[in-house]
Amino acid sequence: MEAAPINPSDLGLLLAAADWKNPKVGGTPGLPTCTAATALSANALRSLSARIDVSMPVGNEGAGTVVAAGSARGAQALIGRTVAVLGGAMFAQFRTLPVDQCLVLPSGTTAREGASCFVNPLTSLGMVDTMRREDHKALVHTAAASNLGQMLNRICLTDKIPLVNIVRKADQEAILRAAGATYVCRSDSATFMQELTEALVATGATIAFDAVGGGPLAGQILSCMEAALNRSAATYSRYGSSTHKQVYLYGALDMSPTTLNRNVGMAWGVGGWLLTPYMQKIGPQTLQALKDRVAAEIKTTFASRYSGEISLAEALRPDVIEAYAKRATGQKFLINPTKGL
Amino acid sequence: MEAAPINPSDLGLLLAAADWKNPKVGGTPGLPTCTAATALSANALRSLSARIDVSMPVGNEGAGTVVAAGSARGAQALIGRTVAVLGGAMFAQFRTLPVDQCLVLPSGTTAREGASCFVNPLTSLGMVDTMRREDHKALVHTAAASNLGQMLNRICLTDKIPLVNIVRKADQEAILRAAGATYVCRSDSATFMQELTEALVATGATIAFDAVGGGPLAGQILSCMEAALNRSAATYSRYGSSTHKQVYLYGALDMSPTTLNRNVGMAWGVGGWLLTPYMQKIGPQTLQALKDRVAAEIKTTFASRYSGEISLAEALRPDVIEAYAKRATGQKFLINPTKGL
């Protein structure tokens, strides 16, 4: 393993929602340990009871060079090739995986370039595919200046899919505008609801993928979708628009409860969205087609940027933990398990 | 028209969420008018803008005797028969409808007995059918002592479907226990969440139909479903149970925002459920089979009780409005448009 990103989806397992201010550092420089200073609440502990005292290897994805292979068909041919892999426990020096779980990167692609071939690329492709499967024609995305959001913006520009980006701040808007985004709405605007409604009228988007999860945002998106749909309603309908409006929560940047005002008619849904069941649903052939597209466009559409490249030992340094625990836009770390060896 | 129930689904159109305390009464005894004393809020008015100054005939369903018919196939044969009808504008003395929208009641069935053949019967049958279509094996229902809830309880007992009834009060529990319900959980209990979880473990219910809509209830049901599923989990899964949990909101007894805590894993959904799109989805043949069952069992499984039978003029009397506007359990009125004529 030569490169493995710390994704938001790794942080729950890695940090267990503990408070990482002033942790206790122990072990040796080569094999450090890091323990949260304050205990988890009884409530948090209850939901984590099944993992107490259980070893939990972390790291959803990564890339590296095949150094040994078994006798399975095609396995020996991989020796020396740079491959991207998905499957957990990737924050490690070596990883053994079935040959068909290895995505061979185009020659000239480094492990760093191919480290994030799955989680963000397949999630953003999965959003576009889900939009089509569920008969929508345009997308809404929140926390849209994230690494994933920028990727989704590139896919939508390439595939000519109208995308409404929702961000919180001016610098996040600037990132997306510079990347060619047409619709960017800022939730810190006093006229956010009006601006979002106008963007929804213009695009016809009736499905959203929301990384924020908590607070009023998912409900606001549904309300604005309903307002946009009612703009063209000819007569009063007491049950609102009959067009289905959907928000999928795929993240939890805001851990507070989701609040829905329900001024959205009756044709609406909110639910969880997760990559793994999506991949199971579409089946191996469709999934391989998506992976092949990722490999082919890994230096363009699906390129990821990292704010730092760290060793496994550095990933346990308190200042580094503090940096990645923030889940801040533009703060994405790459673990290089060969660094410092 | 000889009998038409005032259903909760009629009240939105009839009362427009206005305050009906001390309304202004006008008109004549035979043709009275009743106007709310206080104006609606600007916000409420905005969502009702499309119906201002538009005549809005009310009454989803009813029954009566066919007194005249056209030349369509089968129409003349209906003359003199008692039929149940669905289609709006039923709070009236006469109603013209296509022949295939008339459900002929078994002989010996009165209009009063057949007045509620559609809204509650098809909604409760639709809940059971939706449960099966979406691969669940047991049901949760809230506000479960309602006319509809008692009907659903009878269907589930007949069809041997495990049903978890949620009610707010002791007298509501008593109604359901007397009707043979096995699982009744009271949301006013200090140990409501534990009791609900145990009922969900026992039944395996992973779908709920919620008439309350607002507040924490829908989220509590999802949380308890997740807790029940995790009871049998062998290992820790950071994304929670992979079994889909669904709550459909089909009513709005509580108009406050719906709050979801999201301690439910990622495989969950909350959404609106409405009879009309459900009927469109299942198609005319399946729908007719459901209607035939309702007609055959209208005096047993699908029997409705009414707390009062009123004339069209009485439906506008302030004390009567106050009674049906409460949406209280056991307070269901039947309009008899022939009364007092």
Q: How confident is the model over A219-256, as pLDDT tens digits?
A: 999 999 999 999 887 778 888 999 999 999 999 999 99
Higher pLDDT: B49 or B255? It is B255
Is A242 within 8 Å of B48 when comparing Cβ atoms?
no
SS3 labels along B136-163 = CCCEEEECCCCHHHHHHHHHHHHHCCCE
**Does pLDDT of B229 surpass 80?**
yes
B17 CB within 8 Å of a chain A CB: no
Measured between alpha carbons, how far is A334 from A302 in angstroms, rounded to an integer? 16
What would the pLDDT profile of B262-297 be if each residue is shown by its tens digit?
899 999 999 999 999 999 999 999 999 999 999 999
Q: What pLDDT was estimated at residue A278? A: 97
What is the C-alpha separation between A205 and A182, in angstroms, rounded? 14
Q: B96 — contact with chain A (CB < 8 Å)?
A: no
pLDDT for the residue numbered A327: 78
Q: How far apart are CA B12 and CA B8, in angstroms?
A: 8
Q: What is the pLDDT of residue A269?
A: 98
pLDDT tens-digit series, residues A85-123: 999 999 999 999 999 899 999 999 999 999 999 999 999
User: pLDDT confidence of B70, banded at 50, 70, 90?
Assistant: very high
> What letter would DSSP give residue A41?
P
CA dist B258 to A208, B196, B213, Å? 19, 19, 6
**Does A233 reach chain B within 8 Å, measured CB to CB?**
yes
Which structure tokens are listed for A214? Answer: 């908590």
Q: Which residue of A has its CA nearest to B15?
A: A238
The pLDDT score that the predictor gives to residue B167 is: 98
What is the pLDDT averaged over residues A129-153? 97
For chain B, say whether A271 makes contact (Cβ under 8 Å): yes
Mean pLDDT confidence for B25-45: 91
Which of A14, A236, A275, A279 to mutate against chain B (most B CBs within 10 Å)? A236
pLDDT score for B329 = 72
Q: Tell whether B130 is within 8 A of chain A (Cβ).
A: no
Q: Inspect the interface and report whether the beta carbons of A238 and B269 lie closer than 8 Å.
A: no
Contact between B272 and A272 using a beta-carbon 8 Å cutoff: no
Confidence of residue A211 (pLDDT cuts 50, 70, 90): very high
Smallest Cα distance from B122 to chain A, Å: 17
Q: Averaged over B228-241, what is the pLDDT? A: 86
pTM recorded for the entire structure? 0.92
The pLDDT confidence band at residue B234, using thresholds 50, 70 and 90, is: confident
Q: Is the pLDDT of residue B177 over 90?
A: yes
Kindly tell me if the per-residue pLDDT of B227 is higher than 80. Answer: yes
Chain-chain contact of A12 with B236 (C-beta, under 8 angstroms): no
A50: confidence class by pLDDT, cuts 50, 70, 90? confident
A260:B258 CB<8 A:
yes
User: What would the mean pLDDT of A140-167 be, rounded to a whole number?
Assistant: 97
Residue A11: closest CA among chain B residues belongs to which residue? B238
Tell which of B135, B197, B236 to mutate to test the A interface (max A CBs under 10 Å).
B236
Partner A contacted by B51 (CB < 8 A)? yes
pLDDT at A84 over 80: yes
Angle at A137 between CA A136 and CA A142, to 5 degrees: 85
pLDDT at A305 exceeding the cut of 80:
yes
Instruction: Express as a percent the part of chain A with pLDDT over 70.
Output: 100
> Between these two residues, A16 and B212, which has the higher pLDDT value?
B212
Give pLDDT, residue A171. Answer: 96
pLDDT per position as a tens digit, A9-19? 899 899 988 99
- Contact assignment for B262 to A249 by CB distance below 8 Å: yes
Chain A residue with CA closest to B14: the answer is A238
Rounded Cα–Cα distance for residues A271 and A258 (Å): 11
Q: Is B93 on the interface with A (CB under 8 A)?
A: no
Q: Which of A230, A235, A268 sits opposite B272 (nearest CB)?
A: A268
Chain-centroid distance, C-alpha A2: 21
Q: Residue B236: its pLDDT value, please?
A: 80
Residue B12: band (very low, low, confident or very high) from pLDDT cuts 50, 70, 90: confident
Residue A329 has pLDDT above 80, yes or no: no
**Nearest by CB: A271 against B236, B249, B270:** B270
Distance CA B123, CA B287 (A): 11
Q: Which residues of B touch A211 (CB under 8 A)?
A: none
At residue B78, φ and ψ (nearest 5 deg) are -80, -15
Q: A235 vs B271: CB contact, 8 Å cut-off?
A: no
ipTM confidence: 0.91
Work out the pLDDT band at B179, boundaries 50, 70, 90: very high
The dihedrals phi and psi of A79, each to the nearest 5 degrees, come to: -60, 130
And the tokens for B33? 């008018």
> Given a cut of 80, is residue A328 above it in pLDDT?
no
Answer whether A238 sits within 8 Å of B13, measured CB to CB.
yes
What DSSP designation does B227 have? H
Residue B330 pLDDT > 80: no
Rounded-to-10 torsion of CA B223, B229, B234, B236 = -20
pLDDT at B340 over 90: no
pLDDT at B232: 84
Whether residue B203 is predicted with pLDDT greater than 90 in this model: the reply is: yes
- The confidence score (pLDDT) of residue B44 equals 82
> Regarding predicted confidence, which is higher, B292 or A326?
B292
Residues in chain A closer than 8 A to B268 (CB atoms): 271-272
Region A294-310: what's the mean pLDDT?
A: 95
Structure token pair of residue B101: 């929208």
Q: Which of B235, B259, B272 sits opposite A257 (nearest CB)?
A: B259
The alpha carbon of residue A127 is apart from the nearest alpha carbon of chain B, in Å, by: 15
Residue B49 has pLDDT above 90, yes or no: no
Q: Is B259 on the interface with A (CB under 8 A)?
A: yes
- pLDDT band at residue A330 using 50, 70 and 90 as cut-offs: confident
Output the average pLDDT for chain B. Answer: 94
CB contact under 8 Å between A236 and B51, yes or no, is: yes
The C-alpha atoms of residue B22 and residue B14 are separated, in whole angstroms, by 16
